[in-house]
Amino acid sequence: MTYSGYPSPDSLAAGTWLRVTKTADADNLGLRRRVRSLSLGSLSSRTDSCEVNPLDNKIVVITGASDGIGAEAARKLVAIGATVVVVGRSARKTLRVANELHCASYVADFSELDDVRRLALELRRDLPRIDVLANNAGGVFAQRALTVDGHEKTMQVNHLAPFLLTNLLLDVLIENRASVINTSSVAHRLFAKFDINDLDVANNYSQLKAYGNSKLENILFTKELHRRYEGQGISTAAFHPGNVATNLGHDTDSLVRYVYRTPLRKLVLISSAKGADTLVWLASTASGSAWQSGEYYYKRKIHRASNQANDATLAKELWEKSSTLCAL
């Protein structure tokens, strides 16, 4: 489920999904047990006794963390004291990041909602709590395809799966007054042609339209999550990471692929490390002081979203339709 920088050569379109293997599970077992047994005094590396590290005792779960901005965010957050849990699609890539950072990892396929349900059960079982959930997984696909659940792949991977994961962890997030961070994109303004009655983009499909719609859905989800649960302690924000030089355009057949796969990427794209900056900032600072819950950010500042992204009625309707699609 390595959707940050997704698709990779072992892409969704090729259908070559990597699963959790017994070997990978065994390699992770000790790390998972360590996370499960963490106490308030030992959740992360300590800072100088005279300093207060805002990430001490914090558990941060990042999806799409096997490469791209998810992996870079994991590195930066571990470096400043967080206990990070990485989630990815590729067992090999995810375990490689986990071994590098000495952190626990999980593998799941966001094109299968049952895999998302399994992931939620495992996180609930293994983690003493969750302080930050970073819904960072995402992809763009050349051809319209339906998942095993019967939904358009871009919509399910980018919106429906993180919506379901967040809802399945909702009581844990509320209990710990957690932050939920959703990776969106300026593509919601550039490419979205959103029809609430055509979430599966059955009419006039294009890869950029599907991607733009899904990034709009990320913001609408953020807005409605804030409206429903800010009073119960959840803080949430969406952000645009910038035009990041990842594998995102690998499976497209448009100008996006040309930019991502040629020397032009060095001229118009930023590094994954720079793209991860706002995610790290949101995860490592407090809502209400550093940032405002329910907003859309770019470069650590509130950024203008589209009119549809600020439509409260549309956000509510999307939540209700998504709940029905996920059988919540």
In DSSP notation, 52-64 reads --TTTT-EEEESS
The answer for 159, left when phi > 0, alpha when psi is -120 to 50, beta otherwise, is alpha
**Active site residues per annotation:** 211
Four-point Cα dihedral 278, 280, 282, 286, nearest 10: -140
Assess whether pLDDT exceeds 70 at residue 15: no
pLDDT in tens, 34-78: 666 553 333 333 333 344 466 777 999 999 999 999 999 999 999
- Residues 116 and 188: their CA atoms lie apart, in Å, by 24
Three-state secondary-structure class, residue 152? strand
For the segment 226-233, the average pLDDT, to the nearest whole number, is: 98
- Residues 248 and 121: their CA atoms lie apart, in Å, by 29
Identify whether the C-beta of residue 97 lies closer than 8 Å to the C-beta of residue 86: yes
- Between CA 217 and CA 221, with CA 218 as vertex, the angle to 5 degrees is 80
For the segment 193-198, the average pLDDT, to the nearest whole number, is: 98
Q: Using the Cα atoms of residue 178, residue 237, residue 164 and residue 307 in order, give the sign of their dihedral.
A: positive
> Which segment of 45-54, 160-169, 177-186, 229-238 scores lowest on mean pLDDT?
45-54
Identify whether the C-beta of residue 312 lies closer than 8 Å to the C-beta of residue 223: yes
Three-state secondary-structure class, residue 133? strand
Assess whether pLDDT exceeds 90 at residue 243: no
> What's the first-to-final CA gap in the chain, in angstroms?
22
Q: What is the DSSP letter of 47?
A: -
Q: Specify the pLDDT at position 257.
A: 52
73, two tokens: 């965010």
Q: Label residue 62 exposed, middle or buried (CB < 10 Å: 0-12, 13-18, 19+).
A: buried
Q: Label residue 268 exposed, middle or buried (CB < 10 Å: 0-12, 13-18, 19+).
A: exposed
Q: Specify the pLDDT at position 39.
A: 38
Q: Using the Cα atoms of residue 189, residue 190, residue 193 and residue 194 in order, give the sign of their dihedral.
A: negative
- State the amino acid at position 96 in one-letter form: R
Q: Label residue 52 exposed, middle or buried (CB < 10 Å: 0-12, 13-18, 19+).
A: exposed
Of 323, 322, 327, the closest CA to residue 155 belongs to 322
Give the residue with greater pLDDT, 241 vs 256: 241
Sorted by where each starts, the structural domains of the chain and their CATH numbers stand as 22-325 (3.40.50.720)
User: Dihedrals φ, ψ of 141, to 5°?
Assistant: -130, 145
